Amino acid sequence: MSQPLLTPQIPAGEEARVAALYGTIEARLGFVPDGLRLYGISPPLLETFVGTVGYLNTESTLGPRLAAMIRYLVSSQAHCSFCIDMNEGFLTGMGLDLAAIRAARGDLEAAPVEARERPLLRLALKAVTKPEQVSAADLDAARAAGWDDRGIFDAVALATGNRAFNLLLATFKVEHQGVFAA
């Protein structure tokens, strides 16, 4: 396991701001993931990231299970061990079978999601693998399954934002939880 290239240092004068955000995260998850600790370097970006994740997990029509499955499969394609492990934990914590979760990595149709969620899952993954091939037919398939434009946008924003997070973690070598342990 490689060492991270950056060690998060909260900027002077921003400690209370970051502590409040970490407190919110810890209250929800029981801990602060190292991927989010990295964001402590830039409190405004940490606020934005936490706000986006909070919205997608609590207010978006995607729901936490579909959101976690999108993050999981996007992270799997990016080979982001940190996010794969984290989302496997979230999904198994929601009662899904680990073998079924992992089967989706090789076969999207095996993903343990509702039938109406499958077109949206396909669209989200296509957005990060072949965005130039996304067509009106892809959006129409999601609409036919009952998704509105906001749900469609949320799924694609989640997938593309997660891919950016995967790249950030890979760049700074944050590969597993515990990398910033003292």
What's the rounded Cα separation, in Å, for the pair 88 and 67? 12
pLDDT at 176: 85
**Average pLDDT of the residues in 87-114:** 95
Residues 42, 138: contact at Cβ < 8 Å?
A: no
Rg (CA), the chain: 17
pLDDT at 1: 60
What's the rounded Cα separation, in Å, for the pair 139 and 137? 5
What's the rounded Cα separation, in Å, for the pair 168 and 59? 25
Region 63-171: CATH code:
1.20.1290.10
Q: How many CA atoms lie within 13 A of 99 on its CB side?
A: 0
Residues 6 or more apart whose Cβ sits within 8 Å of residue 133: 126
Res 175 pLDDT > 60 = yes
Instruction: State pLDDT tens for residues 115-170.
Output: 999 999 999 999 999 999 999 999 999 999 999 999 999 999 999 999 999 999 99
Q: Where in the chain is the domain with CATH 1.20.1290.10?
A: 63-171
Helix and strand element counts for the chain (H, E): 9, 0
What's the rounded Cα separation, in Å, for the pair 68 and 62? 10
Determine which helix (DSSP H) or strand (DSSP E) holds 120, and give its type and residue range.
helix 118-129
Q: pTM, whole model, 2 decimals?
A: 0.92
Res 53 pLDDT > 90 = no
pLDDT at 95: 96
**Average pLDDT of the residues in 79-105:** 94
